[in-house]
Structure 1
Amino acid sequence: MGKILENLHRTLVAGLVLTVIVFLIINLGSFDPASYFAFLFRWLHVMAGILWIGLLYYFNFVQIPSMPKIPDEHKPAIGKVIAPTALFFFRWAALATVVFGLLTAMHLGYLVEALTFQAGFVTIGIGMWLALIMAFNVWFLIWPNQKKALGIVEADADTKKAAARTAMLFSRTNTMLSIPMLYCMVAYQQGYTG
């Protein structure tokens, strides 16, 4: 077991194998492919969303507040190794969350209704629009500014400082928006449809 858990890729494969076993146990003799795709899209949406929002909260609850406390000689480890890796998973998880969320809504037949706030879909529609705004912020405001702040693209010291502040403010914006977004997603699943 140690050999599996010592390697992230093996751990993820083991998790998928366990998921297949659970799937087989649950669906033995009663598999309905039509309804399963809606479930699969939702499951992938939730998995990607956990990664996305988990990293958003890591940045805002751990990394940003901790940076002033880290000695200058240790900061390059964050800026050159940890932050770029975390931002890679952060932005792709944001995209995957949106794609699988839209596929779920489309497959279940409420995509247009939710995005246009039709009766019965207002709650999920608000949640979807908040998530779309957040994903836009990730790809078009946070990531471009983080590339400058971390020195991934060429920028002078003043530009890096301004970019770091802009990235932080939009990251905080996303943290703020994540609270009502998650509320809407859970509320809709509980029958509060609006």
Structure 2
Amino acid sequence: MAQKSWLKTSLEIAVIVLASALFGIAWNRTLLADAWRGAPAGQAAPVPQQAAPGSQQAEALPMPIALAQVKELHDSGQAVLVDARSAASFAKEHIAGARSLPLEEATRQATPQLKGVAKDAVIIAYCNGFSCHDSMDLGKLLIKAGYASVYVFEGGLPEWRDGGYPTSGGKQ
């Protein structure tokens, strides 16, 4: 009697597993068909787009970067930190070793330039924290000017200072 009960339970489990597998295959048939063809999962094939006359291409945006990454790149000298705040704010306090390029000044230039900085250098723009968007705007201008690796430290000077990292006062 116990053997029949065990056999019946095993048969019920097998039927449930088989039914689930068939349902899953039917539900995901397109995903599986793409996988069997070798297409990457979850990615549509790129569609080349041509800009319509009079329309603008999508604007390139600088990528955000976290405090730990900023600190690592700063300490290793692999990045140039650029302060987007006003010259007066920079003179009062800034991240040690940063350069000043106020957004106001950069917008007045045809193509903003960082003297002595190669176009392929890693640039990290920052300002007064998450509520300040000057660093993002400066980052966009620097990308348009031809700088290839531009990042935005959204936490800016406040997050840097709160992390206990070095700041300076005065012009550099």
Task: Tell me the TM-score normalized by structure 2.
Answer: 0.23
Q: Counting helix residues as a fraction of each chain, which structure ranks higher?
A: 1
Structure whose alpha-carbon radius of gyration is higher: 2
> TM-score normalized by structure 1?
0.21
